[in-house]
Structure 1
Amino acid sequence: MEREERLEAGPASWYRSTFATGMPEPVVGEELPAGWEGVYFPFTTPFAQLREDGSPAEDGVLPTIDLPRRMYAGEDTEFLRPLRYGEPVTQRTSLGSLVEKQGRAGRLVFADLVREFVVDGEVAVRSTWHDVFLEAQPAVPTPRVPAPAPAPEDAADPDEGADWSERRSLDSRQLFRFSAVTGNTHRIHYDRRWARDVEGLDDLLVHGPLTRILVLDALAAHADGRRLVSVRFRAKAPVLVDTTFRIVGTDDAAGTSVVVRAADGTVLASADAAWRP
């Protein structure tokens, strides 16, 4: 499937004003920060083709998958050349792997969508988006496990020795804005009843693709003149609205490893970044 869009400054400006006010205002001809291509080419699935949870049931690329829930699991991205504001870009989307498994919660289908952002016939960014399709939750949500007691003050810091750390917390207005700019209609991001009673979460879920861009923004802030070559991002546990989390980076000879941690130390996401000088 192919779509074309000129990278106007509007979507990036809206993202910047909501999540990244310390970054430069978009200017035609200047480079997009790595990851900000994710606020372009919003979902356009017709309403009649949405699952009950608001995610696309049919998107023109994936075959019909007879499971009711669809969740973002991560993304692998190669940055081959910069994208620039004002450029006409073609997004090519194709089917990657499609794997069915049986898990503790029932049947699962892991599906990959390969997105290429093409300028003048040359691929600038190639990203493989990983989704997982799941069976319906039980009618009665699984009892929630109480949060562990805070670690004692003298407990070892799991991120001791890291090179940098950033603290973030997102509220429901910010989640709404990201849903709006990306056309994301998944109810788990704005419908508290759905998130709690159907998905069994404590509150609204921060978008996995948004967490990914926040990680890329943190990497950019600590790039020290380097340019990203690739990033492998994995969502591991729910990032919830109105909770504080840390984005923590550690540099080594191979690149930068990132973990996203909840206040209790739980790893919510991870990423591995490779650089060129």
Structure 2
Amino acid sequence: MSVRTEVLEVRPAADYRGTFAVADPPPREGGELPPGWEGLYFPFDTPLAGLRPDGSPAGDDVLPPVDLPRRMYAGEDTTFHRPLRYGEEVERTTALGSLVTKEGRSGTLVFADLVRVLRVAGEVVCETTWHDVFLDGSGAPAPGRRAPAATGPDWWRRPGVLDARQLFRFSATTFNTHRVHYDRDWAREVEGLPDLLVHGPLARVLVLDAARRENPGRVVAGFSYRSSAPLFVDRGFVITGHGTTTGDGAPGTEVLVLDEEGSAAGRGVVRWAS
């Protein structure tokens, strides 16, 4: 198990707001941290010698060695017990959940779950199981032709596009050295991608931002998300959603992230506090 402690300073949230969320009020000491923005804290701290060739951490004191060169965010299941506040000292524990190896069309895959718990003065404030996937690097996944996602007239829509400056700023804020987000030559020539890749953890924050703006006054109690396809720099996408009921009967919002062709790149459900 890994244990880290950090004070939630205003600066990382202010940097994120100035880049992605200018319509939000400026963060202030003692104010509430929006759900999802906790991902701006506890930045990567792997020494340079501990990085894979692609810039991702080779280990983090929790995972056993995984002999695959590529690592990506695949989704999460998170419960928010109460909002975090700027200025609080937060302890984060990280433990290994499941570790599963599978053979896919593009080669060997290892699915790793990291269980993170955030506590303030011993109180559990946020619990999340983070899903990562390791790939064997035998070439970029072939996306093929995917059908457009089915939505309806009652779905709200928030279009967006991200440029290289924004991706660089998110990498800097989270100390993420994964080269697919800022090194075009690496992304294209080594990974076989068409361009720079949008961070999965950035997409999940943008999804939560969009959902709470469409539901002012509601409190996020939980969030489940699965990433199914990449988003790329300078290419339009749409975050869209509609009201639903979660499996436990709580009010919720189903959210899709659509790529420029209208196919689902990610799917999530936000659970609202009753």
User: What interval of TM-score do these two structures reach, taking the shorter chain for normalisation?
Assistant: over 0.9
* TM-score, normalization by structure 2: 0.93
Residues 48-127 of structure 1 mapped to structure 2, 5 A cutoff? 48-127=49-128
| Partner residue of 1:180 out of 172, 187, 190 | 172
RMSD over equivalenced CA pairs, Å: 1.9
For residue 244 of structure 1, what is the amino acid of its counterpart? Answer: G
Alignment equivalent of 1:238, drawn from 230, 237, 244: 230
What is the aligned partner in structure 1 of residue 249 from structure 2?
none
The residue aligned with 2:254 is 257
CA contact (8 A) 2:243 2:253 kept: yes
2:149–2:258 Cα contact (<8 Å) kept: no
What are the superposed Cα offsets for residues 225-245 of structure 1, whole Å, 9 maximum, x if unpaired? Answer: 221111111111110000110
Offset of 1:106 from its aligned partner? 1.7
| 1:96-119 deviation digits (Å, cap 9, x = unpaired) | 111111112221110011111110
Question: Runs in 1 of length 4+ with deviation above 4 angstroms?
Answer: 141-145
Q: Check the 8 A contact 2:106/2:141 in 1, yes or no.
A: no
Q: Which runs of 5+ in 1 are unaligned?
A: none
Percent identity between matched residues is: 55
Question: Which one-letter code corresponds to 1:240 in the other structure?
Answer: F
Q: Distance in 2 between matches of 1:63 and 1:220?
A: 37
Separation of aligned partners in 2, 1:71 and 1:163:
29
TM-score normalized by the length of structure 1 = 0.92
| 1:139-179 CA-partner distances (Å, limit 9, x unpaired) | xx68886x89xx9xxxx994322331101100000000000
Using the alignment, how far apart are the partners of 1:10 and 1:132 within structure 2?
30
State the alpha-carbon separation in 1 of the partners of residues 197 and 19 from structure 2: 17
Following superposition of structure 1 onto structure 2, how do residues 1-277 of structure 1 map, counting pairs within 5 Å? Answer: 1-138=2-139, 158-254=150-246, 255-277=252-274
**Partner AA of 2:108 in structure 1:** R
Cα separation, 2, equivalents of 1:252 and 1:117: 28
CA contact under 8 A between 2:44 and 2:176: conserved in structure 1? Answer: yes
Is the alpha carbon distance of 1:25 and 1:263 closer, same or farther for their aligned partners in structure 2, counting shifts above 3 Å? same
